[in-house]
Amino acid sequence: MTYIGETSTKIKTMKKKIFELLFQIIPVMIGVYLGFLVSNWSEGKQRKAASQKLVNNMLVEINHNRKRVKQVLDYHQMLRDSSRAILQSDAELVQPNYFEGTRRIRLANSAYNTGIQTGIINELSIDKIEIINTVYTFQNDYNQYGNMMMASLINQDFSDQEADLKKIVRFLSVTMTDLVIKENDLLAGYELIEKKLKEKD
């Protein structure tokens, strides 16, 4: 009989210890869970703030680039139109007095590159990322075209010979036509990207 009583006491003691152990573990588990929730909420808030900062920086960069394109667009259109008119004219070719350099510009992309390198751009919606990538690809193409155009221009023979003058005028006609198309495409792209970035997700 004593043996049964001891076993019963042991079982009660063990149940009590298990209950006490569970009573201690459950608050710890709840604490850990709440810690994860707060940590995730904090990280989400930080990511949201970082993505908003990226959007703001890109809007500033796009606005700066748009202003620069607008500053040179009229001049490039004038070079294109003047060169075309001279090529269609029968008048004797002289040094083009309307030519004051190419006014080539290099467009900035540091905000975009920062977004790519840090991975913050991935916090934006997929449709925003697609438009951003498309416009910045156009912009990169524009920068590369400017480099190629300058390299070709440097190789031109700037003599007073009519054949050389004709080559320069033809060069200006072709390159400025392409440049004006690219600049108009960029301006349209900047408008689209700005509108998309200002939309709420």
Give the residue numbers spanning the domain of 97.
50-197
pLDDT for 166 equals: 83
Residue 11 lies in a domain: no
Residue 139 lies in a domain: yes
Q: Is 110's pLDDT higher than 90?
A: yes
pLDDT for 93 equals: 66
Residue percentage of the chain with pLDDT more than 90:
49
Average pLDDT for 110-125: 93
pLDDT for 119 equals: 92
pLDDT for 14 equals: 76
Residue 114 lies in a domain: yes
Residue 90 lies in a domain: yes
Residue 4 lies in a domain: no
Residue 42 lies in a domain: no
What digits encode the pLDDT tens for the residues 136-193? 999 999 999 999 998 888 877 667 677 778 888 888 899 999 999 999 999 999 999 9
pLDDT for 147 equals: 92
Of residues 161 and 69, which shows the higher confidence score?
69
Residue 86 lies in a domain: yes
pLDDT for 1 equals: 46
Residue 37 lies in a domain: no
Average pLDDT for 17-38: 71
Q: Is 97's pLDDT higher than 90?
A: no
pLDDT for 40 equals: 58
Structural domain count, the chain:
1
Query: How much is the pTM?
Result: 0.75
47, 83 contact by CB (below 8 A): no
Average pLDDT for 58-71: 96
